[in-house]
Amino acid sequence: MSSTLLRTVPALRGALRASGAVKPAVALASTSFVRCKATLPDLPYDYNALEPYISSKIMELHHKKHHQTYVTGLNTALENIAKAQEQGDFTKAASMAPLLNFHGGGHVNHSLFWENLAPASREGGGEPTGDLKTAIEDDFGSFEDFRKQMNTTLAGIQGSGWAWLVKDKESDTLSIVTRANQDPVTGAFVPLLGIDAWEHAYYLQYENRKAEYFDAIWNIINWKTVAKRYD
C-alpha cells in the first residue's frame, strides 16, 4: 500500500471515531479496510431554527444535499478500496486516497459543524464560560480578540476551506488553523470549533458578503459543545 494511503487511513480513522461519524462497531484498519457504512446524521434542530443568521433553505441544501454527497462519496471510496484490496490491486486502492480524504473529511467536518451550532433562543451565541473562557483569554488576550482573529482568518481563506479553533494535544494551548477544501483536523490537534468557509454555506443568503456571514454565525455558536470537546 502506498505511503499516501497509509498516512490517510489512520488520520481519517481517528477523525471519524472522534466525530462519531462512523458507528463504533466498525472502523478503518491501519493497513486494510473493513466495510463500514457512514450515514447522514440527524440535526439536533429544525432547518429554520438558526434563522435569521442562517436561512432554512441554506440549512436544508447544506445538510441534505452537500453533506449527503460526502457521505455517499465516502462509502463509495471505502467500497472501492476494499474491492481493490481483495483483488490484490494495491495501486488502485492507493489511488482512492484523495477521494477518501475529501469525502471522509467532508463527512467529519460537517458532522462536527452541525454540533457547533444551536438556535440563538437556546444554547446559541454569547460567550464561552469556565475553563474554555480562561483558555481563550490566556491564548488570545480576550474573547473579542479571538473572535476578530477567527474572522480575519476566515476572510483570508482563498477558495474553499475551513477555519478551526484547535487544542494542541501536548501543550493544551489553543490556536487557529485553516484547512483547505475538506481536509480534516488530525495529528497534534483536537478540533474544537470549525466554521465552514465554502460558498455553499452562505451564498444563497449572503451572496458575496461573506464577512457578514462570518459575523452572523457567532450568534448561533454552541459553546457548550465546544467546551465539552475542550474538556
How many other CB atoms are found less than 10 A from the CB of residue 197?
Answer: 23
Q: Distance (Å, rounded) from C-alpha 136 to C-alpha 44?
A: 26
62 is in an annotated binding site: yes
Please list the residues that pair with 180 across neighbouring strands. 161
Cβ atoms of 206 and 212 within 8 Å: the answer is yes
Q: Distance (Å, rounded) from C-alpha 75 to C-alpha 90?
A: 18
Q: Provide the residue count of the chain.
A: 231
200 is in an annotated binding site: yes
110 is in an annotated binding site: yes
Extract the C-alpha cell encoding 97. 486516497
SS3 157: coil
> How far from 221 is each of 3, 171, 174, 214, CA to CA, in Å?
38, 25, 17, 11
* 166 sits in which H/E element: strand 161-168
* 109 sits in which H/E element: helix 97-116
How many other CB atoms are found less than 10 A from the CB of residue 44?
Answer: 15
Residues at the binding site for Mn(2+) are 62, 110, 196, 200
Binding residues: 62, 110, 196, 200
